[in-house]
Amino acid sequence: MAGEGAENGRDDMIIDGSGADQQRQNNLIFDGVNVNYLKLYYGKLFPHADVFKWMSYGNDGKHPGCDHSYFGRREFSFTLDNDIYLRFQSFSGLSEMENSIREKCPFKIDIGPVYSVDPARRHAYAQGSDNVFTPVERELIFDIDMSDYDDVRYCCSGADVCLDCWPLMTVAIKVLDSALRDDFGFNHILWVYSGRRGVHCWVCDGKARRLNNEQRAAIADYFRVYKGNENSHKMVSLLGQALHPFLVRAHNEVLKIFFEEKLLSTQNLLLDEDRYEKILGMIPDESITSELRGKWADNRRSKEDINVVRWQQLKHMLQSGKQKLHLRRCVEEIVFSFTYPRLDMEVSRHMNHLLKAPFCVHPKTGRVCIPIDPNCCEDFDPTAVPTLSKILEELNTEGSRKEGDNEWDRTSLGDSVRYFRSSFLQPLLKSCKEEIESSYSAKLQESKNSLNW
């Protein structure tokens, strides 16, 4: 659903990549999501202060190097109950943000870029000929959506996910997370369940937030291996004498194991003619494919999983020493085609793409968009993510406690907020503080030097 909104203008932006999330129709109550429940959620459970701390990146402190206008230049946008869409909301601080969210009770909160000026007052700046209203910072974001995997999963399609196809997301997280850290040197990365059928990634290092569009596009392209589509037959072409080290690592450490040990059997990739023809279509050698067809025509039952047996036969034929390089490479191409992460490229390319805030409640599923720990993402179960009605119930049965306690602590949201704080927010704020201090002292030094002149 890449960039279903308009693109590229200055004040026309792209709505959250998981665009189909907005397929919501009017006035329906979804799995217990209604305005009254949301009011309670925003009133008692939504971690306003944590979101504020995060979006301030240390600029809410007392250090003279802090930029106090920083948080106020961030765009938020709200989707309200009756499909009213409010763009360019901005807040001077925590209490203003919290009050606005509680009062408006948005079904969805999107986070946009930090602009050069307060986005709520953008019109005041639009008079001059120079366009001063422009995005200046934005997290590097990624959006991966299960509906883009429809041609490689047989269990579900469209918006549905199950435990058989969800591991494709786990694989995507593993491949991207390690490359973002090891290759690009980023440290502050937040993965979030999008509430229904995908994941979002927020890369929050200062260096990432200040990338320009060309650099963002370059990173997105670095991750791109899908060159073709159904018009060109081949989804993945791996050319050259060798693979790039990033692809080698992704293949050897994640994709190959996942494909052979899980996906082959769970999706029954070679079960019947329809399915294996799709894979044979990726092998550009008639004699090999017809020999395999011959072997597979006879559908004898054996103890072993038929998918695994056939895959071994296919590999054996393609990888025998006498085959040419492009045929041996075919095995890897098949693995990549079925397992390599499929990014919504448009989301990552531009600074001005909006993305749904963590801890929102998905209006269709009622599930909270909670963070996913990339270090144990294989344990994440989208069907077990707390729903709004569940946590509100937990809140009720626990009875009321004394004021000032963290309400979320008593619900199944607790673990998620704790993870967000300890593994993401605290290390992030620590490095923000260091960055603010060092750039401030550098500035002081500079002005001293210029005085000496």
Partner 1 sequence: MEGLRSHRKPAEADDVVPTLPLYLSAPALQVRLEDFELYAVDRLRVLKEISDGLSRGKKSDEMENLVRELWKLHMSHPHASEVVNKDIISHFVLRLVYCRTEELRKWFLSMETSLFRYRFRSETHEAQRALMAEFHLPYKTVTSAEYENVKDKLSQVARSTGQSLSSGDGIFYKVPFEEVPELVAGRRVYIQKGQAYVAMNQVVSLVVTQFRFLLSKALVLTNRKWTTMIREQEKDRLTPLVESLSSSYLGPDYSQPREFTEISLKDIDQVAKSSFPLCMRHLFEKLREDHHLKHGGRMQLGLFLKGVGLKLDDALAFWKAEFSRKFGAERFDKEYAYSIRHNYGKEGKRTDYTPYSCQKIISSMPGVGDHHGCPYRHFSEENLRAALGRMGVGSRALEDVMEKVRNKHYQLACTLTFEAVHGTSYVAGINHPNQYFSDSKKTLESRNNANTA
Q: Tokens in use for 371?
A: 């963070």
User: If we measure between CA atoms, which residue out of 24, 405, 332 comes closest to residue 196?
Assistant: 24
Residue 449's CB: how many other CB atoms inside 10 A? 9
Binding-site string for partner 1 from residue 318 to residue 337, where x marks contact by CB under 8 A and - marks none: --------------------
Does 44 contact partner 1 by CB under 8 A?
A: no
- 55, 144, 165, 211: which one binds partner 1 (CB under 8 A): 211
Does 248 contact partner 1 by CB under 8 A?
A: yes
Q: Which residues 189-208 are close enough to bind partner 1 by CB under 8 A? A: 207
Does 214 contact partner 1 by CB under 8 A?
A: yes
143 is catalytic: yes
Q: Tokens in use for 402?
A: 């004394």
145 is catalytic: yes
Beta bridge partners of 33: 30
User: If we measure between CA atoms, which residue out of 14, 85, 32 comes closest to residue 368?
Assistant: 32
Q: How far is residue 316's CA from residue 321's CA, in Å, rounded to a whole number?
A: 10
Does 222 contact partner 1 by CB under 8 A?
A: yes
Residue 219's CB: how many other CB atoms inside 10 A? 21
DSSP 33-85: B-HHHHHHIIIIIS-HHHHHHHHHTTTTSSSTT--TTTGGGEEEEEE-TTS-E
Does 19 contact partner 1 by CB under 8 A?
A: yes
Per the CB < 8 A criterion, the answer to whether 40 and 380 are in contact is: no
Does 31 contact partner 1 by CB under 8 A?
A: no
- 221, 273, 291, 379: which one binds partner 1 (CB under 8 A): 221
If you ran DSSP here, which 8-state letter would residue 147 be given?
G
Q: How far is residue 415's CA from residue 390's CA, in Å, rounded to a whole number?
A: 15
- 82, 127, 242, 297: which one binds partner 1 (CB under 8 A): 242
Q: Which residues 340-379 are close enough to bind partner 1 by CB under 8 A? A: 342, 345-346
Q: Which residues 102-161 are close enough to bind partner 1 by CB under 8 A? A: 148, 151
CB-wise, 73 or 349, nearer to partner 1? 349
Binding footprint of partner 1, residue count (CB under 8 A): 57
Q: Which residue has the tokens 């786990």?
A: 170
- 66, 114, 203, 247: which one binds partner 1 (CB under 8 A): 247
Q: Tokens in use for 38?
A: 């949301």
Does 235 contact partner 1 by CB under 8 A?
A: yes
CB-wise, 93 or 185, nearer to partner 1? 185
Q: Which residues bind partner 1 (CB under 8 A)?
A: 2-12, 15, 19, 22-23, 25, 83, 85, 148, 151, 182-186, 207, 211, 214-215, 217-219, 221-222, 224, 226-229, 231-235, 239-248, 342, 345-346
Active-site positions read 75, 143, 145
